[in-house]
Structures are given as C-alpha cells and as structure tokens.
Amino acid sequence: MTGKILVLPGDGIGPEIVTEAEKVIQALIGRHGLKVEIEHGLIGGSAVDATGKPLPDETLEKARASNAVLLGAVGGPKWETIERTIRPERGLLAIRAGMGLYANLRPALLYDALAGASTLKPEVVADLDIMIVRELTGGIYFGEPRGIRNTANGHREGYNTLVYNETEIQRIAEMAFKVAQKRAGRVCSVDKANVLEATELWREVVTEVASGYPDVSLQHMYVDNAAMQLVRDPKQFDVIVTTNMFGDILSDLASMLTGSIGMLPSASINQSGQGLYEPIHGSAPDIAGQNKANPLATILSVAMLLRYSLNEETQARRVESAVQQVLTNGLRTADIYSKGTQIVSTAEMGDAVITALNEC
Ligand code: IPM
Ligand code: MG
C-alpha cells in the first residue's frame, strides 16, 4: 500500500524541524523501501498570512484524504493580537476537530544517554516510560457556551464550559486500556471528581470500561495529586488517561522529567486510524530560523506515524534506533547539551539521524 502523508510545516521553528523529518522519510523511501507520497499544506499563522484563515479548507480536505498528517508547530508573537477566532492555535484545534482526532498519545520516555539532562535526580527518572493518553476533541477546549461578555453591572466576564458525554469518555478509556495491554498493564485515570461533575461522570465511565479489560489494573487520581506524584515518583505510572485540559498540562510536566520538551513526539488518532503527528513543543519563535532547534521530537513523530497510521512497525523501530544511536554517539542540539557532548545544528542532527538510519 502506498500511504499518503500531508506535511504541514506551520510557523516558527516548524519549517526547519519538518525539513529534517522529511529527509528521514525520503531516506526510508530511498534506502528502505517505504512507499509513501508526500504533499504539503498551510496551517497556523503562515496560513493566516496567505489565506486569512488558520486552517484553509484546502488543508482540511487534503488532511482528510491522507493516511497521516505530519505537523511542525503553529503560532508566534506576530499573530498574538489578531482577532481571536483566526489565531494560529485555532487552526490546530480545528484540524483536531475536523479530522475527529479524539485520542492524543504523548509518551514521556527517558533516553539513557539523556539521564543527566533532567532536573530531577537520575535515580528518580532512570528508565522512565510513561504514556499519557489525552482526550483531544472534547472537554473545556470545545465546550459551549464560551466567550467574553459584558455583564449587567458593566463588568466583563469570561466563561467556558467543561462538558463530557459518555461516548467521549468511553472511547478514550478504551484507547487507554488497549495501549496499557501492550505496555505494563496499568492505567491511572486522572480527574477532579471531588469538585467537577463532568469528571465525576468521567470516573464512573472509566470504571465501567475497565470491566472489559480484566488484564489491566485501574487506579483513579485527582489531578492535583497526579501533578505532585509525577514529580515525586514518576515511575509509579504506566498509562495516564485524562481530559483535554489536564492532559495538556500534565504532558508538559511529564516532558520535563525526560530533560527536554524537544525530544517528545505525539500522535493524535481518529476512529479510522488516520492520525496527526507532531512534536509536543511549540513554535519557539525566539530561536526560529537559526538552525538551532531540536528536530528529534519531529523525527520521533515520524516513527509514531509509521507505527500507528501506516502499520510500518519495522520502519518505526528503525527511526527510533537511529535517534538512540545519534544520542549515544554524543550529538546534542543546544536544548539537550551537557558537558562532554557535541553540540550540533538542526540540519546536522537530521543528517546524523539519516547516517545512523542507513547503517541500521
Ligand atoms: C498542545 C498545545 C495546544 C493545546 C495549543 C497550541 C492549542 O499546547 O498541543 O499541547 O493546548 O492543545
Ligand atoms: Mg500543550
């Protein structure tokens, strides 16, 4: 089967890191028999500049016709003050909603070679391997009504709605249990059921779904406690399943356990197996265009794309081993640099991964 990949570089460092990831895909096509077609499209601020919209209709149509989308990052100071409904981040939310990408998988994996890069003690994070399963198309990110209004007494009031229906909770819970079956078999569901009714239902439904997975253990945790436990003893976790907003926050927290947010990929998957793959870091406008950014999270997103949307497990492992090899060889971009290692540019890092890939 020839897969179709839509590449959306986006803004800031997006184009630079995506260029390296595309080089990796081309190397797999040229040297390892991967069969895919690549197309390009616009999203985010660069799409606003070109078309007036953060997600042009053409991009969504192309995305829906692809097996997978590879995205760089969106946003930047240039677009922070434009009208709220056309800000770059809205483009990202619109493509998640438009493709029905309800399940966001965010691994926090510590590479041996980077154990020293974490701000936590090495023994706390050694061998860390957590998978956060974040609900991505519901909750307070999408709930209506929402907005900023004027109240009767002349003050402004901002409001959002946290809403989850049973079906949304069921399907993300199913995903988490399935993921756990292929890992250590433990799910921790994170909520705020002591205060928020929407997550009281979350807890109930996750518990119901658990009965269909007797081989997986289920634990519930309040989000405040989960944040504390992630820093205190992160290795207690295997799979964490949580709401859209809690997952947003906890995944940034978990990424730092591994030393750099520049290392972590993510997959956002819909019910037909299509996916959008992106690094979890943002567009880093402060270093954009300087050939400094770490392309490894995007390259590792290619590995997830191969695994989850193209069913190319061997190719996925090849990419992951190549990244591992490059780190073992001591190459580092600035964000993961430590004494005794060699600092390289974005492009040099990409080239090193390709060299390692061709040796695998
Ligand atoms: C993420 C980002 C996005 C989110 C922003 C850019 C809308 O922080 O993917 O984690 O909040 O989901
Ligand atoms: Mg985030």
Ramachandran angles phi, psi of 59, nearest 5°? -65, -45
Residue 94 sits in a domain whose CATH number is 3.40.718.10
Task: Looking at the CA of residue 92, tell me the nearest atom of ligand 1.
Answer: 7
Nearest in space to 67 (alpha carbons), one of 21, 9, 5: 5
Q: Whose CA is nearest to atom 6 of ligand 1?
A: 89
Give the H or E element holding residue 71: strand 68-73
Q: What is the pLDDT of residues 220-243, one digit of tens each?
A: 999 999 999 999 999 999 999 999
Q: Report the C-alpha gap between 109 and 261 in whole angstroms.
A: 11
pLDDT of 261 strictly over 90: no
User: Is residue 178 domain-shared with residue 239, that is, in the same domain?
Assistant: yes
Q: Report the C-alpha gap between 256 and 253 in whole angstroms.
A: 6
User: Is residue 253 domain-shared with residue 124, that is, in the same domain?
Assistant: yes
Residues constituting the chain = 360
Range of the domain at 193: 119-258
Q: What is the pLDDT of residues 109-161, one digit of tens each?
A: 998 888 878 889 989 999 999 999 999 999 999 999 999 999 999 999 999 99
pLDDT of 358 strictly over 70: yes
pLDDT of 332 strictly over 80: yes
Q: Is 129 in the pocket of ligand 1 (CB under 6 A)?
A: no
Gap from CA of 222 to ligand 1 centroid (Å): 22
**What local confidence, expressed as pLDDT, does residue 1 receive?**
66
Mean predicted lDDT score pLDDT of the chain: 96
User: Is residue 8 domain-shared with residue 63, that is, in the same domain?
Assistant: yes
Q: What is the pLDDT of residues 1-23, one digit of tens each?
A: 689 999 999 999 999 999 999 99
Q: Whose CA is nearest to atom 11 of ligand 1?
A: 248
Ramachandran angles phi, psi of 114, nearest 5°? -105, 10
Q: Which residues are catalytic?
A: 141, 192, 224, 248, 252
Question: Last residue of a domain, which of 242, 258, 274?
Answer: 258
Say what the pTM is. 0.93
User: Is residue 104 domain-shared with residue 45, that is, in the same domain?
Assistant: yes
**Domain count of the chain?**
2
Question: Last residue of a domain, which of 258, 278, 301?
Answer: 258
User: Is residue 46 domain-shared with residue 177, that is, in the same domain?
Assistant: no
Q: Report the C-alpha gap between 203 and 111 in whole angstroms.
A: 33
- Map residue 159 onto helix, strand or coil: strand
∠ CA 68-72-74, nearest 5°, is 115
Q: Whose CA is nearest to atom 2 of ligand 1?
A: 248
Gap from CA of 153 to ligand 2 centroid (Å): 35
pLDDT of 259 strictly over 90: no
- Ligand with the closest atom to the CA of 139: 1
Question: Last residue of a domain, which of 258, 289, 322?
Answer: 258
With pLDDT > 90 as the criterion, what percentage of the chain qualifies?
A: 92
User: Is residue 279 domain-shared with residue 332, that is, in the same domain?
Assistant: yes
- Map residue 257 onto helix, strand or coil: helix
Q: What is the pLDDT of residues 159-169, one digit of tens each?
A: 999 999 999 99
Nearest in space to 107 (alpha carbons), one of 254, 320, 302, 326: 254
User: Is residue 48 domain-shared with residue 138, that is, in the same domain?
Assistant: no
**What local confidence, expressed as pLDDT, does residue 115 receive?**
81
User: Is residue 294 domain-shared with residue 240, that is, in the same domain?
Assistant: no
Strands 129-135 and 156-159: unpaired
User: Is residue 271 domain-shared with residue 289, that is, in the same domain?
Assistant: yes
**What local confidence, expressed as pLDDT, does residue 62 receive?**
98
DSSP designation for 113: G
218 DSSP β-pair partners: 187
Task: Looking at the CA of residue 136, tell me the nearest atom of ligand 1.
Answer: 12
With pLDDT > 70 as the criterion, what percentage of the chain qualifies?
A: 99
User: Is residue 306 domain-shared with residue 272, that is, in the same domain?
Assistant: yes
Ligand 2 (ion): which residues have CB within 5 A? Answer: 248
User: Is residue 98 domain-shared with residue 189, that is, in the same domain?
Assistant: no
Q: Is 92 in the pocket of ligand 1 (CB under 6 A)?
A: yes
User: Is residue 245 domain-shared with residue 309, that is, in the same domain?
Assistant: no
Gap from CA of 359 to ligand 1 centroid (Å): 36
Gap from CA of 248 to ligand 1 centroid (Å): 6
**What local confidence, expressed as pLDDT, does residue 21 receive?**
98
